[in-house]
């Protein structure tokens, strides 16, 4: 594996510092919410994780287009990496939301439109990784992956807009809120600062982890090529 | 499914610190598990690479 670029080393350090500051902000800087108490603090990383999940799926869709236009394998490697990172953070989003829901909604889970669309989105991208395993030919696998992520991306805006389009109990913290939502709160300035800082931090985390994951994918590709070369020589 | 109505009748913020701790433990825990999985895969690939280099050296 090629040595880690200097820029990635700096990014690792900066991301870690931002993450520690974000933890301090959400736990100590932001005030306690008047009704929900401390569990409201889960909201900061819950939303940020959801943002990273959707960002991962967006990147996968963009590189899917680039692959279909150019046929370059590196775009497929970035696409797989972006979906994998997106899946992890979308899962964090769902699980942390469930933990928040228990004391606020009095249940761990309900088939609310937002929760349902988020779960469907997660399953669509989990299926992407599983279905890829079943295709041996690398070019066919990459082409299938590129088309799949483009079609699957329809689930992303649907998930984002579901709380605005359908009757839901899921709160919309930014913008207008529906009367039926449970757990709505008005953000104090310090809450807003902690929230925006969390979004920024998780964006850095996404770029950092994606870079590491892409390097891993490129290295795996290099090994496969070398195996083929050795096989031909042998 | 009903909203936790006790939240509305309480005088101060609800005592939900345990859920906050659980939430952050899960968030940080899952992130750590994923980072470890990347590191383990990288280690496994490094071994494969070294093995391939050893085979190539042997062939020479």
Of A1, A20, A38, A53, which to mutate for an interface test with B (greatest number of B Cβ within 10 Å)? A38
Element (H, E) at A122: helix A113-133
In Å, how far is A145's CA from the nearest CA of chain B? Answer: 21
If you average pLDDT over residues A113-136, what whole number do you get? Answer: 96
pTM over 0.80: yes
Residue A146 · residue A78 · CB < 8 Å? no
CA of B38 to nearest chain A CA: how many angstroms apart? Answer: 7
Contacts of A107 in chain B (CB under 8 A): 1
Decide if pLDDT at B58 tops 90.
no
Alpha carbon distance A113, A10 (integer Å)? 41
Q: What number is the average pLDDT over the span A196-210?
A: 98
Output b/e per residue, A139-164; b: 16+ Cβ within 10 A.
Answer: eebbbbbbebbbebbebbeebbebbe
Proportion of chain A above pLDDT 90, given as a percent: 82
Top-confidence residue, B10 or A92 = A92
pLDDT at B8: 64
Contact A109, A94 (CB under 8 A): no
pLDDT tens string B11-57: 788 899 999 999 999 999 999 999 999 999 999 999 999 999 998 88
- In this prediction, residue B59 carries a pLDDT of 74
pLDDT of residue A204: 98
Which chain B residues touch A111 with a CB distance below 8 Å?
none
């Amino acid at each position: 594996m090629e040595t880690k670029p200097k820029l990635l080393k700096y990014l690792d350090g900066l991301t870690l510092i931002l993450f520690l500051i974000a933890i301090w902000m959400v736990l100590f800087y932001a005030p306690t919410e008047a009704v929900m108490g401390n569990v409201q603090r889960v909201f900061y990383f819950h939303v940020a994780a959801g943002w990273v999940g959707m960002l991962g799926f967006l990147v996968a869709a963009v590189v899917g287009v680039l692959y279909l236009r150019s046929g370059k394998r590196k775009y497929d490697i970035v696409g797989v990496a972006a979906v994998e990172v997106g899946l992890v953070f979308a899962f964090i989003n769902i699980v942390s939301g469930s933990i928040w829901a228990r004391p606020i909604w009095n249940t761990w889970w309900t088939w609310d439109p937002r929760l349902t669309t988020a779960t469907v989105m997660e399953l669509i991208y989990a299926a992407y990784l599983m279905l890829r395993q079943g295709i041996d030919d690398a070019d066919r696998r990459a082409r299938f992956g590129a088309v799949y992520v483009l079609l699957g991306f329809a689930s992303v805006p649907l998930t984002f807009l579901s709380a605005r389009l359908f009757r839901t109990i899921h709160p919309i913290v930014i913008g207008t809120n529906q009367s039926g939502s449970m757990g709505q709160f008005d953000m104090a300035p310090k809450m807003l600062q902690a929230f925006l800082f969390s979004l920024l931090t998780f964006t850095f985390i996404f770029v950092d982890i994606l870079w590491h994951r892409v390097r891993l994918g490129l290295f795996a590709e290099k090994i496969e090529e070398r195996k083929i070369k050795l096989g031909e020589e042998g | 499914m009903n909203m936790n109505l006790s939240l509305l009748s309480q005088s101060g913020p609800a005592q939900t610190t345990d859920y906050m701790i659980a939430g952050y433990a899960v968030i940080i825990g899952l992130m750590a598990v994923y980072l470890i999985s990347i590191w383990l895969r990288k280690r496994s690939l490094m071994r494969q690479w070294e093995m391939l280099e050893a085979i190539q050296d042997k062939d020479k």
